[in-house]
A = this chain, B = another copy of it.
Amino acid sequence: MNIPKLKNLDKNNFFLMAGSCAIENRDLAFEIAEKIKGITDQFGIPFIFKGSYRKANRTKLNSFTGIGDIPALEILKEVGEFYDLPTVTDIHESDEAAIAAPYVDVLQIPAFLCRQTDLLAAAAKTGKAVNIKKGQFMSGPSMGFAVEKVLHENPNAQVFLTDRGNSFGYGDLVVDYRNIPEMQAHGVPVVMDCTHSLQQPNQGTGVTGGKPQLIETIAKAAIAVGADGLFIETHPSPAIAKSDGANMLPLDKLEALLEKLVRVRQAIV
């Protein structure tokens, strides 16, 4: 793992990408980062702080899409500097790569966009690490082509792949754990997104549903089969979060969850 400021790499633990879904405001970002940093240092977990500066593919037009790109990116940068943490954010079109790169350490490619060659190349060109989410319509083996698109542009790029489940009928997703070893075969770390893989898309209301009580199930299975990292969105009060509230983990439950997961990790290494 070659990510600036990433700590605890000597602990042989899984790493964690976590934060709120969107950057809602400065105080909240600092509160979440501080809390997660404390917990992950205690357990020896490498931690990357996550926040979206813009939500570009909300189901409905009138959903929250952000507080403004640069203000949100500035907050990410401040959090990263203040807590000496790497940060990650997602980009949606090629020109966002160069805009976002100066503020963060990892650029994330959303699942729907994992086949967009120009976007992958633009992310690679920044020299930042690139986290590609597996499309809900993609097999693990096929994600090797996405990795190649990044490495062709920048052979030294640090790439990860993140699973967030497969389409399973219209209103449900299912995680296929066979994809973890199959994506690791591409020679990159593989992450399980425990938040979005529990979404229930295509709800009539236009608000994606969820089953947050199953986060622990999704995460434990991932660690047991050897996932290198976890992605978890968390919020002090998911019910009032401005996006993805249906699946975020209440922040005060993170410590107990990670404690269990560290035990599973120790059983398999």
Contact = CB atoms under 8 A, between A and B. Distances in A.
The contact size tier of chain A is 35 or more
A170 B172 contact: yes
A60 B145 contact: yes
Given A166-B167, A168-B169, A217-B225, A260 B264 contact: no
A263 interface: yes
A186 to B, nearest CB: 13
A177 B112 contact: no
Copies of this chain, complex-wide, total 4
Contact of A171 (B92, B135, B139): B139
A218 to B, nearest CB: 7
Nearest to A117: B56
Nearest to A172: B169
A181 to B, nearest CB: 6
26 contacts: A57-B115, A57-B117, A58-B115, A60-B145, A61-B117, A61-B145, A65-B117, A93-B118, A112-B135, A113-B113, A136-B137, A137-B137, A138-B201, A141-B204, A142-B170, A142-B202, A166-B167, A169-B171, A170-B172, A174-B178, A175-B176, A177-B177, A178-B214, A220-B221, A220-B225, A264-B264
